[in-house]
Copies of this chain bind each other. A is one copy, B any other.
Amino acid sequence: MPAQLATSLEMAAAPRAPDFLDAVARLRALLADDLDAVNAQILSRMESPVQLIPDLAGHLVKAGGKRIRPMLTLATARAFAFTGDDHIKLAAAVELIHGATLLHDDVVDGSSLRRGARTANVIWGNKESVLVGDFVFSRAFELMVAAGNLRVLQVLSRASSVIAEGEVLQLTTQKNIDTKFDTYIDVVEAKTAALFAGAAHAGAIISGANARAEQALADYGRYFGVAYQLIDDALDYAGFDSDLGKNVGDDFREGKMTLPVVYAVARARDEEKSFWRRVIAEGRQTDADFEQAVALMNRDDAIADTVACARKYADRALNELENAPDGDFKDALSNLVKTSLSRIA
C-alpha cells in the first residue's frame, strides 16, 4: 500500500468529527413539528391505488436521508419569522424533486446502494424507477402549485430545469478526461446547488424577505450546495460506505469526472496519463486501480484541494447568510455549513 494511501486511510479511520451530524440534529430539533408535517405531506402525496407507487416511493422516503434541502426551506422561512403553513408544502415539494432525481440517477448510474439500502431500480427495476420518478416529480409540482405562489413556482420550476440540464451535462462529461474545473463546477452548480438555492430562496420568498435578503439566501443555498457536493465527491475517494450510505468508489467505477479526478488528471505525470485514460475514459478497471487512483490523488493533493475548494464555497455561503435576521435559525444554518466540511476528516 503506498504511504500516502495509508495516511489517508488512517486519517479517515480516526474518529470522524460528528459535528455535521450534530448540526443536522440540532436543526432538526428546532424544526421538529415542521418536519413531521413535511413527512406526513410527502407520504400522503405518494398515495395511489397503483400499489407499486407507494411501495417504491415509500422505500425511497423511508430510507430517509438527512432532509437537508427541505430543512433549508423551513429554516429560511422561520428565520424570516414566517407564520403560515405553505413552507410545509414547499419543503415537501423540494424533497420530492430531490427524490425523483435520485430515482432517475440510480437508473442512469446503475447504482445498487443508496442511503445504506438497496436502490429501487435493483428491487423493482429500471422501468419502474423511471415511471415512479416521473410520478414523484409531478406530485412535487402539484404541491408547489397548491402553495400558490407564482414567484416560488418560477424559482423551483427553473431549478428543476437546471438540475436536469446539469445531469445531462454530467453524462456528457462522464469518461471524458479532458473535463476542466469550470465545466465540473457548472455540473455541480446545476445538479446539486440549484435545488439547495431554490429551497432556501423559496423560504425567503414566502416570508416576504426584502429583495436583497432574498437573493442572499438563494446564494447562501447555492454556495452551500457546491460545498456539500464537493465534499461528497471527496468522500467517494476518502470515506467509508457507512458514512456515504453508498459504495465508496462508485464515482470512480462509473468514470465520473468529479473534482478529485479533474485535479488528479491535470497533475498526473506523463506516464500516469495512460492510467487515467484506461480507468476513466476506457472504463477498464482492475480491483487494484481504485487504491492506485486514491494514492495518486493523495500525492498530488487532489482530495485536499477539493476540500479546500469546498471551504471557499462554504465561506461564501456564510458571508451571504449575514443578510438573514439573527437568531436560532440563522445560527443553525450557519453551523450546518461550517460543519459540513467536517464530514471528511
Q: Is A39 an interface residue (CB 8 A)?
A: no
User: In A44-100, which residues have CB < 8 Å from any B CB?
Assistant: 48, 50-53, 100
Q: How far is the CB of A260 from chain B (nearest CB, A)?
A: 23
Bound Cα distance A160, B127 (Å): 18
- A164 CB-CB contact with B under 8 Å: yes
Verify if A108 is at the interface (C-beta below 8 Å from B).
yes
Cβ-based interface call for A175 (8 A): no
Say yes or no: A168 contacts B50, CB within 8 Å.
yes
- CB of A223, distance to nearest CB on chain B (Å): 22
Are A168 and B128 CB-contacts (below 8 A) given A138-B163, A142-B157?
yes
Contacts of A53 in B (CB 8 A): 165, 168
Take A145-B154, A157-B141 as given contacts and tell me if A167 and B108 are in contact as well, using a CB distance cutoff of 8 Å: no
Question: Across the interface, do A168 and B131 meet the contact criterion of CB distance under 8 Å?
Answer: yes
Quick check: is A295 within 8 A (CB to CB) of the other chain? no
Q: Which DSSP category, helix, strand, loop or mixed, fits chain A's interface? A: helix
- Given A127-B171, A165-B48, check contact A137 B137 (CB 8 Å): yes
A148 at the interface (CB under 8 A from B): yes
Q: How many copies of the chain does the oligomer comprise?
A: 2
Q: Does A24 contact B (CB under 8 A)?
A: no
Contact B135 A108 (CB under 8 A): no
Please pick, from B146, B153, B161, the residue contacting A139 in the complex, using a CB distance under 8 A. B161
A 157-191 contacts with B by CB, 8 A: 157-158, 160-161, 163-165, 167-169, 171-172
Q: State the CA gap A101–B142 with chains docked (Å).
A: 17
| A158 with B142, Cβ < 8 A, contacts A53-B168, A165-B53 known | yes
A132's partner among B51, B130, B138, B168 (CB-CB below 8 A) is: B168
Is B52's CB under 8 angstroms from A131's CB? no
Cβ of A134 and Cβ of B171 under 8 Å apart? no
Q: List, in ascending order, chain B residues with CB within 8 A of A307's CB.
A: none
Whether the Cβ atoms of B128 and A171 lie closer than 8 Å is yes
Q: How near does chain B come to A247, taking the closest CB pair, in angstroms?
A: 19
Beta-carbon contact of A131 and B50 below 8 Å: no
Given A145-B154, A157-B142, A168-B50, CB of A108 within 8 Å of CB of B130: yes
4 shortest interchain CB distances as A-B pairs? A135-B164, A138-B160, A138-B161, A134-B164
